[in-house]
Homo-oligomer: A and B are copies of this chain.
Amino acid sequence: MNKIPLVQKIISKNTDVDTVAIIPGSNFKYLTGGNFHLMERPTVILITQNNSCFILPSLEKNSFEELNIDAKVFYWQDKDGYQDAFQKAFSYLGDVKSIGVEGQNIRFIELDAFQKVIPNIDIINYHKQLSSLRITKKQDEVDSLKKAIHLSEKALNDTIKFVSVGKTELEIKNFLIKSLYDHGTHKIAFDPIVLASTHSALPHGHPSDYKIQHNDALLFDFGGCVNGYNADITRTFFVGAVNDTQRKIYDTVLEANRIGIEKCIKDNTLDLVDDSVLSFLEQSEFKEFIEHKTGHGLGLDIHEEPYVVRGNMQKLIPGMVVTIEPGLYDKKNCGVRIEDDVLITESKALSLTNFTKELTII
Contacts and interface: CB of A to CB of B under 8 A. Distances in A.
Given A40-B307, A329-B62, A181 B177 contact: yes
A35 B106 contact: no
- Counting chain B CB atoms within 10 Å of each CB, the highest count among A36, A125, A177 belongs to A177
Interface in A174-212: 174, 177-178, 181-182, 186-187, 191, 201-206
Interface in A36-64: 36-37, 39-40, 57-63
A204 B36 contact: yes
A139 interface: no
A322 to B, nearest CB: 14
A79 B309 contact: yes
Contact of A309 (B39, B78, B103, B205): B78
Question: What is the total number of copies of this protein in its complex?
Answer: 2
A39 B178 CA distance: 26
Interface string A8-43: 000000000000000000000000000111011000
A243 interface: no
A311 B78 CA distance: 10
Interface stretch (A108-116, A158-166, A349-357): A108-116
Most buried by B among A59, A177, A303: A59
Given A109-B103, A181-B178, A291 B58 contact: yes
A182 B174 CA distance: 8
Contacts of A315: none
Contacts of A154: none
Contacts of A108: 101-107, 111, 123, 125
A138 interface: no
Contact of A105 (B107, B123, B202, B293): B107
Contacts of A178: 178, 181-182
B303 A206 contact: no
A331 interface: yes
A291 B59 contact: yes
Contacts of A58: 291-292
Contacts of A102: 108
B107 A202 contact: no
Contact of A59 (B105, B177, B204): B204
Contacts of A123: 108
Contacts of A309: 78-79
Contacts of A107: 103-108
A244 interface: no
B170 A186 contact: yes
A198 B204 CA distance: 41
A191 B225 CA distance: 12
A26 B28 CA distance: 24
Contact of A78 (B66, B186, B292): B292
A170 B225 CA distance: 14
B63 A204 contact: yes
Top 3 closest pairs, chain A to chain B, by CB: A78-B293, A59-B291, A59-B292
30 contacts: A39-B104, A39-B303, A40-B104, A40-B303, A40-B307, A57-B292, A59-B203, A60-B204, A62-B202, A62-B203, A62-B205, A63-B202, A63-B204, A63-B205, A78-B293, A78-B309, A79-B293, A79-B309, A79-B311, A81-B311, A101-B108, A105-B108, A106-B107, A108-B111, A108-B123, A111-B111, A112-B125, A170-B186, A177-B181, A178-B181
